[in-house]
Structure 1
Amino acid sequence: MRLDQQSTISTCFITTNHIYTILPLTIFRLTYPHISHLQNSITTLLIFVSITVSTVNCRRHVSDGSDVTYAAINCRKHTAFLTDFGGVGDGKTSNTAVFRSAIQNLSQFENDGGSQLIVPPGKWLTGSFNLTSHFTLFIQFGAVVLASQDEGEYPLIEPLPSYGAGRDGPGGRFSSLIGGSHLTDVVITGDNGTIDGQGSIWWDKFHQKKLKNTRPYLIEPMYSNQIQISNLTLVNSPSWFVHPVYSSDIIIQDLTILAPVDSPNTDGIDPDSCKNVKIQDVFIVSGDDCIAVKSGWDEYGIKFGMPTEQAIIRRLTCISPDSAVIALGSEMSGGIKNIRAEDITAINSESGVRIKTGPGRGAYVTDIFVDKMTLHTMKYVFWTTGAYGQHPDPGYDPKALPKIDRINYRNVVADDVQMAGNMGGIEGDPFTGFCLSNVTIGLSDKPKKVQWNCTDVSGVSSNVTPEPCDALVDKGSIECEYPSDPVPIDTVQMQTCSFSTQKVLM
């Protein structure tokens, strides 16, 4: 086993371009599962969509010492490889005990410069395992962490205290594939290595109503701080992909997240009762919301009382025909505030930013700021739901009404849209403080007859096409608010880290 002190070398740079993105046939099939057999026989199909993106280019530098470099919030003094602990990358042999043993062994270095566990090329079958503090899990290019489909590889744990129940059934929760609780300074990264949740068996059980416990999530840090998840491809999670909960100071960036668009509840990234979060440069194809901001469920979330706040989402590209690009809720009973979203692109998705809540949720969604959305082929641009059902149990208080206020959207361009705005609040509890400015919406060939449905909502608008409902009062020439000060998480300086290996062909 190698336990070597490492040096640092610069590695990444960012470029921003207006480009034509190319979606390969595999993504097209995920997005359009009804494609005909004849069309499936086509070996090459490219879809071009003009979007503005920022590309993070990470060069895999190789020096005389065969160094692999990467960007991280902290570097590590000690390095080991999964094979040093007996790992077998044949895609058939379980490595659950190997991952657990390796991380337990490396935890001794938490207070001695930290450690990094390298997953080399191969297919590494494993069940659930937990990480340790001051630790990096690095998944190399060509490596696949392959989630076991054996329920016995996922210990059962209690429901989240802010939820009171599992999301899939009355029992507890299966442990997430990669998790950990009360951790500090954890990095899950790679040079575009893959984590494959092999979720199809779980989706089938969900559809067949055979689940008594909630499906595993792919990555779930709990009660933790200083978390980085980056430079990976995540595919086919059993349920939510990335679910930081009760945590703070989180950077999630440079991810590709893919699931079939008909897969149940495969949310991409769900920050839940978290503070100081950055999500940027991610591409998501999902069977549910690409990003869902959450904070607990009904009376349990109200009692727990931990909001999600101070978050920024930037340079997100989403494909989700049946769900939202960004959802606020529906589990928002601890509150959601001070959320920014900028440079958002959607292709063939149900709605842009959707607020989901209802009686029993309580709390608030406030101080939401959205700037620059480019949307292609949408059912709705603006969607607000005040009648969302789904409760953990009958004990919720129907008089616990949410407060929705100060919701700002500006610089939105959309085309091929069926309906501009479907905005509903709650009778006796109107949603207030909406602001829409500089919004241009092009309609589909068969748009809905009514373009704006505004019920129990109020706000202002400026330069919005098609003309919005009377509840969004035209204020002439104004610009909706978007904060100019940096979010706290943007002040975090990334380091350039490295490890040396002679085991991998470079």
Structure 2
Amino acid sequence: MTSWVATSVALALCITVASAVDVWNMEQLEQAKKGKDPVIRVRNINVPAGRTLDFQGLDGRTIEFHGRVTFGYKEWSGHLIIIKGKNINIKGMPGHLIDGEGHRWWDKCGGNCGKKKPFMIYTQLENSYVDGLRIKNTPAWCFAINQCSNVHYSNIDIDNRDGHTKGGHNTDGFDVHKSRNIRIYNSKVNNQDDCLAINSGWDIVFENNVCEGGHGIAVAVGGYDVNEAKNILIKNCKVIKNNIGIRVKTLLNGKGIVDGVPFDNVELKDIFETGIVIIGNYLNSGPREKPTGGIPIKNLNIRNVRGNVFPNGTNVLVNVAPGSPFGWIWDFNVWGGKPNKNCLGVPSTIADPCAK
């Protein structure tokens, strides 16, 4: 009996070892794609300049990050990492780091001018999980969540705090486009742009996250091939030392819809410019002209959004086309900044939020 047990344990260990493959360079990754090992362990890879760490064709497999992943320097507009497929499990293992060494690209211009800067991670996933990744110093934008469905992003740490003094810009945490049933939770972002920017999507939850140093949490609709954001829940989050707390911004002269956006239990702390921003005249170069109502903002529910704005800032700004918003419910307490007496388009169903 003892011999049989020992043999069984040994066999099980062999099967476990054989079920994973270690990848130390790009060539080994290409070989691993051709194999059938259900687990690929990425270990201390240095990706050559101008090349992408490409995880495609890996449906049903697990990708584990071990050690440090780094990238050669090149000015280009590609992606440092691409992950596409179905039923993929992405896991960050203890002690790992995906290090973009973004200071090599940072020039205070971001994606608008200066050096060409690559995206950090492009994901196009279905029925998948991304968990536990530690990411540092992205050249510009971090996560592109594009045409994804049924995907969880959890326990992710995006640390771009060095960019505050070294010229980081447009270092968005999570950018969501044309995606459905997305959950982003238990994560941290320290950056120099939006913590979350939802350009379009349906049934998206952003919960139990901490945003520090950037431009706040944004639903930003307009200017894309799909301009629709519906059923977006922002819940139990903290926004610390950002220039904006939360905002919904729609493109000037754009067409589309924003419908069903609850901000529920969001704590704002030490906001520099404006606590809550709702505008219908957004342009990339900054808001201007009178707001247009081609992207109406419906069922905007602000519940228990609270915290302080610095004295030179503004508590609340609303500038939307009169008659375009519908079904707003607001319950908030933002203090410390100046009231804005020039708000436009506030629906008659709620008390003027700008008077506080």
Which TM-score band applies after superposition, normalised by the shorter structure?
Answer: 0.7 to 0.9
- Name the CA distance, whole Å, in 1 between partners of 2:281 and 2:268: 25
CA contact (8 A) 1:148 1:198 kept: no
Q: Evaluate the alpha carbon distance shift between residue 236 and residue 104 of structure 1 in structure 2; reply closer, same or farther with a 3 A threshold.
A: same
> SS of 1:244's equivalent?
strand
- The aligned amino acid for 1:187 is N
Structure 1 distance, partners of 2:261, 2:145, is 20
Does 1:310 find its partner at 2:198? Answer: no
Kindly indicate whether the alpha-carbon contact (under 8 Å) linking 1:384 and 1:425 is maintained by their aligned counterparts in 2.
Answer: yes
Deviation of 1:117 after TM superposition, in Å, equals 1.6
**1:256 aligns to 2:197 (yes or no):** no
- Report the count of equivalent residues: 325
Task: Please tell me whether residue 405 in structure 1 is matched to residue 301 in structure 2.
Answer: no
| 3-state SS of 1:204 partner | coil
- Counterpart contact for 2:89–2:129, Cα < 8 Å: yes
Counterpart residue type for residue 209 of structure 1: C
1:17-32 counterparts in 2 under 5 A? none
Partner-residue secondary structure (3-state), 1:102: helix
Q: What is the rounded CA distance, in whole Å, between the counterparts of 1:452 and 1:411 in structure 2?
A: 22
Letter in 2 for 1:135: R
2:353 counterpart of 1:468: yes
Which of 142, 160, 174 is 1:269 aligned to? 174
- Which residue of structure 2 lines up, in the alignment, with residue 81 of structure 1? 22
Deviations 1:316-357 (A, max 9, x none): 111135x12344346564300001111011111122221122
Which of the residues 173, 197, 209 maps onto 2:113?
209
Match of 1:291 in 2: 196
> Residues 205, 135 of structure 1: CA spacing in aligned structure 2 closer, same or farther, 3 A cutoff?
farther
**Partner residue of 1:194?**
97
Q: CA deviation at 1:365?
A: 1.0
TM-score normalised over the length of structure 2: 0.81
Percentage of identical aligned residues = 19
Cα 1:148–1:293 change in 2 (3 A) is: same
Once the two structures are TM-superposed, the CA of residue 461 in structure 1 deviates from its matched residue by 4.0
Change (3 A) 1:459 1:368: farther
Q: Which residue of 2 aligns with 1:139?
A: 65
CA contact (8 A) 2:309 2:315 kept: no
1:115 aligns with 2:38: yes
Secondary structure of the equivalent of 1:270?
Answer: strand
What does residue range 13-412 of structure 1 map to in structure 2 within 5 Å? 78-82=19-23, 87=24, 98-99=25-26, 101-109=27-35, 115-120=38-43, 122=44, 124-126=46-48, 127-131=51-55, 132-140=58-66, 143-151=67-75, 174-181=77-84, 183-192=85-94, 193-204=96-107, 206=109, 209-211=113-115, 215-222=117-124, 224-259=125-160, 260-261=163-164, 262-295=167-200, 308-321=201-214, 323-329=215-221, 331=223, 333-378=226-271, 379-390=273-284, 401-412=294-305
Residue 457 of structure 1 corresponds to which residue in structure 2?
346
* Partners of 2:79 and 2:122 within 8 A in 1: yes
CA RMSD of aligned residues (A): 3.1
Aligned residue number for residue 424 of structure 1: 319
- 8 Å CA contact 1:435–1:459 kept in 2: the answer is no
* Cα shift at 1:368: 0.5
Instruction: Return the structure number with greater relative CO, CA threshold 8 A, min gap 6.
Output: 1
- What code does the residue aligned with 1:189 have? K
CA distance change for structure 1 residues 220 and 313 in 2, over 3 Å: closer, same or farther?
same
Displacement of 1:102 in angstroms is 3.2
User: How far, CA to CA, are the matches of 1:191 and 1:452 in structure 2?
Assistant: 51
SS in 1 for 2:327: strand
Q: d(CA) in 2 for partners of 1:205 and 1:148?
A: 21
Paired position in structure 2 for 1:169: none
Distance between the aligned counterparts of 2:278 and 2:266, measured in 1?
Answer: 17
| Contact 2:299 2:328 (C-alpha < 8 Å) held by counterparts | yes
Separation of aligned partners in 1, 2:18 and 2:248:
44
* Cα distance per residue 1:272-320 (max 9 Å; x no partner): 110010000011111100011113xxxxxxxxxxxx0011111111113
Instruction: Describe the superposition over 1:441-468 as per-residue Cα deviations: whole angstroms up to 9, x where unpaired.
Output: 231xxx32x3454212315447xxxx73
- Kept after mapping to 1: 8 A contact 2:308/2:335: yes
**Runs of 4 or more consecutive aligned structure 1 residues displaced over 6 Å after TM superposition:** none
Work out whether residues 420 and 452 of structure 1, in 8 Å CA contact, stay in contact via their aligned partners in 2. no
Is the contact made by 1:196 and 1:237 (CA closer than 8 Å) also made in structure 2?
Answer: yes
What is the Cα deviation at residue 221 of structure 1? 1.8
Distance change (3 Å), C-alpha of 1:209 and 1:376: closer
CA distance in 1, matches of 2:249, 2:104: 29
Change (3 A) 1:218 1:227: farther
Gaps of 5+ in 2: 1-11, 286-290
Distance in 1 between the 2:330 and 2:13 partners?
Answer: 55
Secondary structure of 1:457's partner? Answer: coil
Closer, same or farther: CA 205–405 of 1 in aligned 2, 3 Å:
closer
Shift of 1:245: 0.4
For normalisation by structure 1, the TM-score amounts to 0.58
Aligned-residue offset at 1:383: 0.2
CA contact (8 A) 2:222 2:255 kept: no
| Mapped partners of 2:178, 2:208: distance in 1 | 22
Specify whether residues 235 and 178 from structure 1 end up closer, same or farther in structure 2 by C-alpha distance, changes over 3 A only. Answer: same
Q: Which ranges in structure 1 are unaligned for 5 or more consecutive residues?
A: 1-63, 69-75, 88-97, 155-173, 296-307, 392-397, 473-506
